[in-house]
């Protein structure tokens, strides 16, 4: 595994950085009393405008989580280069937002660039905020990536992760992936079914629902900000006393 995490294409020296960045850091082994999983999680496709929120999420990861996500404890500067190098035209990036519009779960589905065989697998990497571990976000992100990859005509999904990242490897195995371990690193390969009309409709419905959810959160956030500003103004007026005199 290389030490740089810039985002480029897979499997050659100039693209090694992107491969490193896709080492997934998903929830560690769940506690004995596991929180209930959500029946539906709004997963939104992200674009260049979301770079600040993507960066905020990744910088919030602990040193150990960064180690699992990138294959080593990435520095802030390395994470910033990774986010700056995300190619939203070629790859797909997905996020889950909380009501404050902070990214609490993130996935990067990387596709091969020009010059690669058409059957080159797509590569998956993801991370989940620490306080939300064990609630199914990692598995849902992986399922979402599977759907998008197959609808793009990709027949294989690939994960390169540290062998100690048991949660990510467990998610892959549960989905039917074959996992091969080589010392401290493991490769998981999952064969995807071909796209169908049903899979296309499922993606369309999911994206539409996630977009509506995001708009509602935006509106709710705007209302909260307005109320906070109004309370602040009224508080200021109260402290200064009535005008005039």
| CATH for the stretch 13-240 | 3.40.630.30
Sign of CA dihedral 48, 124, 155, 97: negative
Q: Which of 161, 155, 147 is nearest to 122 (CA)?
A: 155
User: What digits encode the pLDDT tens for the residues 111-162?
Assistant: 987 767 667 889 999 999 998 988 899 999 999 999 999 999 999 999 999 9
What pLDDT was estimated at residue 140?
Answer: 94
Domain boundaries, the chain: 13-240
Which residues are CB-neighbours of 81 under 8 A, at least 6 positions away?
4, 5, 6
User: What digits encode the pLDDT tens for the residues 177-199?
Assistant: 999 999 899 999 999 999 999 99
């Amino acid at each position: 595994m290389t030490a740089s995490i810039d985002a480029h294409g897979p499997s050659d020296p100039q693209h090694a950085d992107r491969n490193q960045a896709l080492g997934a850091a998903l929830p560690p082994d769940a506690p004995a009393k596991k929180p209930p999983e959500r029946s539906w999680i709004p997963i939104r496709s992200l674009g260049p405008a979301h770079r600040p929120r993507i960066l905020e999420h990744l910088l919030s990861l602990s040193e150990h989580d960064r180690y699992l996500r990138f294959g080593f404890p990435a520095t802030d500067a390395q994470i910033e280069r990774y986010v700056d190098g995300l190619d939203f035209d070629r790859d797909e990036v997905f996020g889950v937002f909380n009501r404050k519009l902070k990214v609490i779960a993130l996935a990067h589905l990387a596709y091969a660039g020009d010059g690669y065989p058409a059957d080159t697998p797509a590569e998956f990497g993801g991370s989940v905020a620490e306080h939300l571990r064990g609630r199914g976000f990692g598995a849902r992100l992986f399922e979402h990536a599977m759907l998008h990859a197959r609808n793009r005509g990709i027949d294989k999904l690939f994960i390169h992760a540290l062998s100690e990242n048991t949660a990510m490897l467990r998610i892959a195995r549960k989905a039917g992936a074959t996992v091969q371990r080589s010392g401290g690193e493991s490769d998981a390969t999952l064969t995807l079914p071909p796209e169908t009309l049903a899979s296309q409709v499922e993606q369309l419905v999911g994206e539409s629902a996630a977009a509506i959810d995001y708009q509602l959160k935006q509106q709710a956030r705007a209302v909260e900000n307005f109320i906070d500003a109004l309370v602040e103004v009224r508080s200021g007026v109260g402290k200064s006393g009535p005008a005039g005199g």
